[in-house]
Amino acid sequence: MSAVPAIESVPSPSRWPWLAEFLAGERHAWIFVGKSLLAIYIAAWLAMWLQLEQPATTMITVAIVMNPHSGMVLAKSFYRAIGTLAGSVCGLVLMALFPQQRELFLLSLSLWVALCAGGATLYRNFMSYGFVLAGYTAAIVTLPVISHPLHVFDTAVMRVSEVLLGILVAAVVSDLVWPERLRLLLRQNARRQFAQFIDFVRDSTGGSIPRAQMEQAHLAFVRAAVQLEDMRASVIFEDPEVHARSTRMRLLNQRYMSAATSFQSLHHLINRLQRSGSQSVADALIMLYRPIGVALSPEPALRHETTILAERLTACMTQLPAQAAALRVSLDTPTAQLEFDTGAALLQRFAAELRDFAALEGSLRGKQTRGSVEKVHFRRGNDNLGAAIAVLRTFFTMVTLSTFWLASGWAFGASAMLLATIFSGLLAASPNPVSAATHTLYGYAAGMLGAFLVVFWLMPGSDGFLSLIAVSAAFLLIGPYLSTRDTLSGVGAGYTLGFVYILALKNPMVYDPTHFFNDAIAQVAGLALSGIAFVFVPAVTGSGWQRARQLRRLRELVALAASAPLEGLAWRFESVSRDLFQQMVTHTRPGSAESRSLLAWGLAVQESGRAVLELRQDLADGHRVPAAVCDVITLALQAVARLYLQPAAARWRETDAAVRMAIGAAAAMPAVRQHLYQLRTALHDDESPLASYIPSSIPSPLPESGNAA
Amino acid sequence: MPHEVAFRGVLLPGLLPVFLGCLLLMVLIDMVVGRFGLYRHVWHPSLFRFALFVCLFGAAGLLLLR
């Protein structure tokens, strides 16, 4: 995420290449620092000019929202605005319900904040900010006026105005001043994804790909699909043109995913045939595969020209059936013919999907888009239990703080609560919350120290807004600068927040050291407590326990494919399986045994799930399948689903028997039979994770082949 | 249009509905312009959009609330 797209300079041979690189990075960082400072001061000035009560709230909002990419800021701002409105309404309702009962009020506020923190963990884009903000605004609206319930409405209006002003200023500044376009990055990524996939397909026409290489390719394909979706969700806020193409981009990603699944299934089939000794069938399939490779290889300059590729693929597809028939003649046994037919059907499906993918990519690269396309969604695989634990943890933090506050009569309890609210939400989604909390705490303390110097040494002599900028800018810019460093971003964010918050800019300014220190202690206590809570109730994100759960959910997807209503199920299956897979793999070390095992499961689930879906499509849209056969096939599908839910040797035997019976029953329906056969070879794959459940004495490869002809 | 609008007993500035209306209008314009890719002919698309919004909001506010 650190591309510098806009500079179109001619690379001159430089004497010190490291210096040029260093300066380019610094330029990037300082533009961000400049934008942040500009936005913060404009926000402060506007807040004072509009006579809002606490310009500090506006400044903090800007500090939280600023991000180097403008698409990110707009996306963040949009969800923040929604979160702010929801939170302020909730704060008002709670205050109206319990104006006199402080215990009940704090209990329900804690619950609200906890629910918001849980919601934040469910989303991986900026919608999670919306949830954090919904919690934070409810607290910020009600806590300062907890002793004067009658003022709550006025405060709510004030706080909402301040927060929304901050969002507006941050959005406008980051979009207008040296915007860093995420759109360029998105376009580059989409093109790279397309080129990589096409190249991989072309280079693998030799037939066999080693499993390890296939796993790496799968990993890359999945990452590309998920990243593209993440980016699309942010860029639509940045660019109206991307927004207009959003539906199409979603469909593109879905087509990409299904083409990748078919591709893998095909290669697994060929690999299996080679290993099980059916070399002649594998060779015939590789021969049949070659025309696709030829179609993808026009002269090198045109290799990634989508329209040309799509045309060539269409031409290739019309020839495939005839070529398949010619190759089939050379195979003598019915088993070999069934094996070949399965592969040929898969290959034609793959060619069709690849053509659709290329054609859609072509229409997206054009200047205009015409007509409308099917609406699809990228579904996410969320872990509800992880969210429930976040809810529980935040609830304990908030209840502990409120109890302490009520019991001790601590005058600055509200500040501590507020900080705990913000950071419980922000940290809940972080992969390593304890270290993130520690970093933020250091930054926060440093920021408050900086603010102390500014407030009590420099500011008393200053007069007017310009001298305010002059005395505080040097200290303020440390925060945004640190947050552009990869390792120190937590410290930087903490510094900015701590500095701006404790500076508590007002018009006219109040200088009160006692208040300053009391507030500082309370804020540090709140922040520290929200970090400590992670020690007692650990975060589940990235833990081995969560991975085990996600793996189970991944396997359950096969059962979902076998039982859920078919409408939109194919898209859902492809996206959820990839999202879950991506989540699991990001927290494992590449190449470790665990990572290999997850990859193997990912591939197996994708192949079997897709075959199950194709079978169900066959059963649903053709009425030619007799009811008796339909029942046998359904039994086989249920057996596969059960096997994936709880893999065991006994279940594997049951499943294998059920699928064999279904293949026998479906003798008259070639398409169904091929899908069943594919499912069966997937079961027998000795490199899939199911291999450990295969009994040592496997029945002969294809006992029913006599019924086939 | 009145300078203040009562919404369920709460007085809101009359500019607020105008602002929301202009936002809505802007979304519609963006949809049309984005579909035909017309922002490519502008030097600084976001500055253009911002300026367009200021014009819309300024004109609507001045015309409706004067």
- DSSP assignment of A565-602 equals -STTHHHHHHHHHHHHHHHHHHTS-TTSHHHHHHHHHH
**In this complex, do B30 and A240 lie within 8 Å of one another by their Cβ atoms?**
yes
Among B34, B44, B47, the residue with its CB nearest the CB of A240 is B34
pLDDT surpasses 50 at A709? no
pLDDT, residue A566, reads: 79
Cβ within 8 Å of residue A246, ≥6 positions away = A232, A236
**Does residue A239 belong to the interface with chain B, where contact is any CB pair within 8 Å?**
yes
Secondary structure of A213-256 as H, E, C letters: HHHHHHHHHHHHHHHHHHHHHHHHHHCHHHHHCHHHHHHHHHHH
Q: How many CB pairs under 8 A join A and B?
A: 35
Q: B64 to chain A nearest CA, in Å?
A: 22
Q: Which residues contact A334 (CB under 8 A, 6 or more apart)?
A: A705, A706, A708, A709
Flag whether residue A82 sits within 8 Å of chain B, measured between CB atoms: no
Segment A484-508 shows an average pLDDT of 81
Asked whether residue A331 carries a pLDDT value surpassing 90, the answer given is no
If DSSP states are collapsed to H, E and C, what string results for A44-106? HHHHHHCCCCCHHHHHHHHHHHCCCCHHHHHHHHHHHHHHHHHHHHHHHHHHHHCCCCHHHHH
In this prediction, residue A369 carries a pLDDT of 62
Residue B7 lies in a domain: no
Domains held by chain B: number: 1
In whole angstroms, what is the distance from residue A376 CA to residue A360 CA? 14
CB contact under 8 A, A241 and B34: yes
Query: Any CB–CB contact under 8 A between B37 and chain A?
Result: yes
Residues in chain B: 66
For A94-108, A485-499, A656-670, A690-704, which range has the lowest pLDDT when averaged over its residues? A690-704
Residue A621: pLDDT over 50: yes
pLDDT at A44: 92
Q: Which domain holds residue B56?
A: 14-65
Q: Is B8 exposed, middle or buried (0-12, 13-18, 19+ CB in 10 A)?
A: exposed
Q: How many angstroms separate the CA of residue A370 from the nearest CA in chain B?
A: 9
More confidently predicted of A312 and A76: A312
Residue B9 lies in a domain: no
* Element containing residue B12 per DSSP (H, E): strand B10-13
* ipTM value for the complex: 0.85
Chain B hits for A243, CB-CB cut-off 8 Å, are 30-31, 34
Query: What's the pLDDT at A479?
Result: 86
Check B39 against A241: CB less than 8 A apart: yes
Using a CB-CB distance cutoff of 8 angstroms, which residues of chain A are in contact with residue B39? 240-241
Over 80: is that where the pLDDT of A354 sits?
yes
Residue A179 has its nearest CB partner, among B34, B37, B46, at B46
pTM of the predicted model as reported, rounded to 2 decimal places = 0.75
Does the distance separating the beta carbons of B35 and A369 come in below 8 Å? yes
What is the tens place of the pLDDT at every residue in A237-275? 767 777 777 888 888 888 888 888 888 888 888 888 888
Topology of the domain covering A184-238+246-365 = Methane Monooxygenase Hydroxylase; Chain G, domain 1 (1.20.58)
B46/A240 CB distance under 8 A: no
The answer to whether B36 faces chain A, any CB pair under 8 Å, is yes
Report yes or no: A368 at the B interface, CB cutoff 8 Å.
Answer: yes
Q: Is residue B24 part of a domain?
A: yes
How would residue A6 be classed by pLDDT, with cut points 50, 70 and 90?
Answer: very low
- Calpha distance A382→A379 (Å, rounded): 9
Classify residue B38 by its DSSP letter: G
Substitution target in A50, A167, A175 with the highest count of B β-carbons within 10 Å is A175
Q: Which residue has the higher pLDDT, A671 or A173?
A: A173
Would you kindly state where each structural domain of chain A is located, as residue ranges?
24-180+381-536, 184-238+246-365, 544-708
Rg of chain A, C-alpha, whole Å: 30
- Contact predicate A81/A134, CB 8 Å: no
Q: Which residues of chain B have pLDDT under 70?
A: none
